[in-house]
Structure 1
Amino acid sequence: MCYQTRVSAKDLAYKWEWAPNPEQWIPYDTPTAALIEQAFSSRLKSTTLNVGPYFMMYPRTYTFHFDYENGNCYQRNKSSDMCRTARRRTGEEKMKKIDSKLVEKGDRCVICQERFDEDGASEIVQLAMCVGHYFHKGCISGYLKVRDTCPVCFKHVGA
């Protein structure tokens, strides 16, 4: 089940996660993430979590709340009144755009192994915490949805 969730989640432009503790983030399953994303896109203040394998077992027990003004969101268990921090990730916050002139002729994207366009048609980025590791934006975006390390030096990308 975890493998299936990760594979389908990597194709989304976003990832919704919840935190059981401050050091750990767990992705929501794809149906739940889609429900949360729809509520987020509609600028709803909250939504009831009632899809996905876990939340279908406990209908009307969990809600998801958005604080757009402060950029926060959380999941609430209505039975216990316990709240868990949640977040939306896109991967964009981990990247810095690179001028194509900085890339040497013949350099390749580490992920797809294609040469970088000399005309600058494809966007070239590097991870914020690494120097000299260049990627096509589309390639590294997909990679970061399932991994949290640089594919070259394996530094932790961070939250």
Structure 2
Amino acid sequence: MIKQFLKHKCNSKIKLFIAVICMFALVMSVSGCGNGNSGSDNTNSTQSTVATYKVNRGEFDWSGNEYTSVLPNQKEWNVSQYLVDDSRKCCSVIIDNSDLESTKQYVKSLEKTGVSTVKSQVTDDKKNPIFNYLGESDSYDISISYTGGITTISITKTK
């Protein structure tokens, strides 16, 4: 009796875990899909939020918006996705072909432009290195994270 109860309990947990994974995959696939036209801008607007989503590979213009125009451009990186949200005064850029060293070098180039480091943390695990960085300038806060070949840069306007 107890054996059957434990077996049923474990199966329920496994089913719940699989359901959560499937739900996460569904949400990610829906949020990553546009209208089938990968070259178009999708602008979603509500009463309080206007955000522009662009999912394109290599077509991001670093000087094309007020957030990334203040940052150095890492030419060998391919931008896979970006989000500009003017109502929240922020921009996020996802680079999918980066490595830990190029991300560290990018942070050094930021510091040369006057960005000061608030906090920096690196885990040099050979299999899965992780890098997190927080910086600030006179009018922007910058967050950079690297893991698994993906670098994410988030810029928030403070003034």
Q: Shared fold by TM > 0.5?
A: no
In terms of Rg, which structure is larger? 2
Query: Which has the larger strand fraction?
Result: 2
TM-score using structure 2 length: 0.23
TM-score using structure 1 length: 0.23
Query: Which has the larger helix fraction?
Result: 2
